[in-house]
Structure 1
Amino acid sequence: MTTQTTERLRRYVRALKKRDELWGFFNALNYSGEAFLFGGAPRDVAFGFGNKVHDLDIFVSGPIDLDEISRFSSITRRTNFGGLRLFVGSFEVDAWELDKSFAFRANASNFIGVRNLLHSVCFSTDGVAVSLKTGGVTVTPAFSKSLDDRVLDFVTKPAELEPVVGARIARLALKLDLALSLSVAAYLRGCLESFGNNGLIAAEARWGEHRMLNELLVAQLAARICDRASMSASHKLERLG
Structure 2
Amino acid sequence: MVNIATTPAALKQRIKRFFNTTNRGRQTVAQLIEQLQTSGKVYLFGGAIRDIALNGITAFSSDIDLVIDCSQDTLDLALLTLSNTSIKQQNIKQNKFGGYRIDTGKWLVDIWPITQTWAFKHTEVVYDNVTSLLNTTVLNWDAIIYDFGEQTLIHQPEYFNALAQGHLDLVLVDNPNQTGQAVRILRTLFDKQVHTISPPLARYLTRLIHLYGEAKLREYEQHSYRSRFLHSANWPILYLQLNQPPKNGRVEVDLLQKTMSLPLEAPISDEK
TM-score of the two chains, using structure 1 as the length reference? 0.81
The corresponding residue for 1:39 is 46
2:204 is the counterpart of 1:180: no
- Within 5 Å, give how 1:62-101 maps onto structure 2: 62=70, 63-64=74-75, 65-69=78-82, 72-74=86-88, 75-101=91-117
The corresponding residue for 2:37 is 30
The corresponding residue for 1:58 is 66
The corresponding residue for 2:210 is 193
2:192 is the counterpart of 1:148: no
The residue type equivalent to 1:43 in the other structure is R
Cα 1:102–1:29 change in 2 (3 A) is: same
Contact 2:51 2:62 in 1 (8 A): no
Cα 1:231–1:138 change in 2 (3 A) is: closer
Q: Could you give the per-residue CA deviations for residues 104-132 of structure 1, whole angstroms, max 9, x where no partner exists?
A: 32369934422011122221111111123
Cα 1:156–1:206 change in 2 (3 A) is: farther
Rounded Cα–Cα distance in structure 2 between residues aligned with 1:140 and 1:231: 24
Q: What secondary structure, in the 3-state scheme, does the structure 1 residue paired with 2:109 have?
A: strand
Cα 1:107–1:184 change in 2 (3 A) is: closer
Rounded Cα–Cα distance in structure 2 between residues aligned with 1:92 and 1:172: 19
Rounded Cα–Cα distance in structure 2 between residues aligned with 1:16 and 1:95: 23
Q: How many residues were matched structurally? A: 231
- Within 5 Å, give how 1:192-211 maps onto structure 2: 192-205=209-222, 207-211=224-228
2:120 to 85, 104, 114: 104
Contact 1:37 1:57 in 2 (8 A): yes
Contact 1:161 1:191 in 2 (8 A): no
Cα 1:230–1:37 change in 2 (3 A) is: closer
1:5 to 11, 25, 40: 11
Q: Could you give the per-residue CA deviations for residues 6-63 of structure 1, whole angstroms, max 9, x where no partner exists?
A: 4333333434898432232111111121111112211111123541323211011123
Contact 1:127 1:139 in 2 (8 A): yes
Rounded Cα–Cα distance in structure 2 between residues aligned with 1:41 and 1:212: 19
Percent identical among aligned pairs is: 22
Q: What secondary structure, in the 3-state scheme, does the structure 2 residue paired with 1:121 have?
A: coil
Cα 1:81–1:105 change in 2 (3 A) is: same
Rounded Cα–Cα distance in structure 2 between residues aligned with 1:76 and 1:223: 44
Contact 1:28 1:68 in 2 (8 A): no
Tell me by how many angstroms 1:231 deviates.
Answer: 7.0
The residue type equivalent to 2:110 in the other structure is D
Tell me by how many angstroms 1:161 deviates.
Answer: 10
Cα 1:82–1:145 change in 2 (3 A) is: farther
Q: Could you give the per-residue CA deviations for residues 156-194 of structure 1, whole angstroms, max 9, x where no partner exists?
A: 123899332221111111221213211111122222333
Rounded Cα–Cα distance in structure 1 between residues aligned with 2:172 and 2:158: 11
Rounded Cα–Cα distance in structure 2 between residues aligned with 1:99 and 1:194: 31
Contact 2:20 2:27 in 1 (8 A): no
Q: Comparing 174-183 with 15-24, which one deviates more in the overlay?
A: 15-24
**Which is richer in helix?**
1
Q: In structure 2, list runs of 5 or more residues that go unmatched.
A: 1-5, 249-272
Cα 1:39–1:24 change in 2 (3 A) is: same
Deviating beyond 6 angstroms after TM superposition, the runs of 4 or more aligned structure 1 residues are: none
